[in-house]
Structures are given as structure tokens and as C-alpha cells.
Copies of this chain bind each other. A is one copy, B any other.
Amino acid sequence: MPKYYEDLEPGATRTCGSRTLTRDEIVEFAERFDPQPFHVDEAAAQRSIFGGIVASGLHTMCASMRLYTDDFLDDIALVAGRGLDEVRFPNAVYPGDTLSVRIEGLEKSPSPSDPSWGEADVSLTTVTRDGETVLSLSNVFVVERRPADDSE
């Protein structure tokens, strides 16, 4: 049984699983999508404010969204993602850093466009093992409402 709109608990918190980003993965991802020198070139990265290669924020975000999908979204009757708000990268992710995602809360409201849908807004914070925040964002998604003929 998937979780419907009615099953989502406002204010719910949860810690999703963890994931370590290796240097090879960081460089490979950045070469493909975000080839800034401080993501792909060790010498240039040493001269940057980071002092060494760091992960693309897009990579940190994608890895975090995967943890969030596996541990939270996976059993929800998802219709579609609608967007992301206030995506911030307050600290850099270095090779070997282990990321863990905290779901900080959840708000929900009926969909303005379809009575069989609802919308949910979840705040995510990604932290390293040292407790440093490397990413925060809000994810808005559309979820099915429980069908009227569905026996609980």
C-alpha cells in the first residue's frame, strides 16, 4: 500500500541513510555536469577558497535526493515533483565526506489544480558526520489523495 496525501504527517522528521562521496565520483560527476576547476582540477582547486577538490553542489543535491527517495519518497503515491526552493550550499563537500539527510518537517495542502491530488513541501538538510550542514532545500511534490473507494 502506498502512502497517500492523507497518510503524510505534517511536521514529521526523519533521518535518511548515508552515502560517502569518493574523489573519483566527485570528479566524474563534475566533468559531466559542472566542470569548474575547483571540482575537477586538483592544482586549481588548491588555489581556490576550498584548498582542494570539492563536490559540485549539484552532485551533493543529487546524492541527497537519492537518499531521500530511497528512505522517504519511495512508498509515497507520487504524481510528480514540482520543484525545489532555497537550495543552499553553506559548506563544501570534500572527497570521503559521508552525507546523511534529515527531513526537518512537512507541510501539505490540497492541490489547486486537481481534487484527486495534494501537494507536500518537505525541508531537507544534508549534514556530514561532523555535523556540518552542506545542503539545505525544500522539495515540493504532488501526491495522490486516497481514492474514495479505497478501504482503509
In the complex, chain B residues whose CB is within 8 Å of the CB of A62 = 32-34, 58, 62
**What DSSP secondary structure best describes chain A's contact surface?**
mixed
A129 at the interface (CB under 8 A from B): no
Max chain B C-beta neighbours (<10 A), residue from A32, A35, A87, A89: A87
Q: How far is the CB of A62 from chain B (nearest CB, A)?
A: 4
Which B residues are CB-close (under 8 A) to A150? none
Contact of A61 with B by CB under 8 A: yes
- Cα(A86)–Cα(B62), bound, Å: 17
Asked if A106 is at the interface (CB within 8 A of a chain B CB), the reply is no
Write out the residue numbers on chain B whose beta carbons fall within 8 Å of the beta carbon of A84: 84, 87
Query: Is there an interface contact between B82 and A49, defined as CB atoms closer than 8 Å?
Result: no
The answer to whether the Cβ of A146 comes within 8 Å of any Cβ in the partner chain is no
Specify how many copies of this chain sit in the oligomer: 2
| B-side contacts of A32, CB under 8 Å | 62, 66
Verify if A65 is at the interface (C-beta below 8 Å from B).
yes
CB nearest neighbor in B for A80: B49
Where the two chains meet, the residues of A that have a C-beta atom closer than 8 Å to any C-beta of B are: 32-36, 38, 48-50, 57-58, 61-63, 65-66, 69, 73, 78-89, 92
8 sample A-B contacts, Cβ–Cβ < 8 Å, listed by A number: A32-B66, A33-B65, A35-B66, A48-B79, A57-B81, A81-B89, A82-B88, A82-B89
Apart from A58-B62, A81-B89, list 8 A-B contacts with CB within 8 A: A32-B62, A33-B63, A34-B69, A36-B69, A36-B73, A57-B83, A58-B61, A84-B87
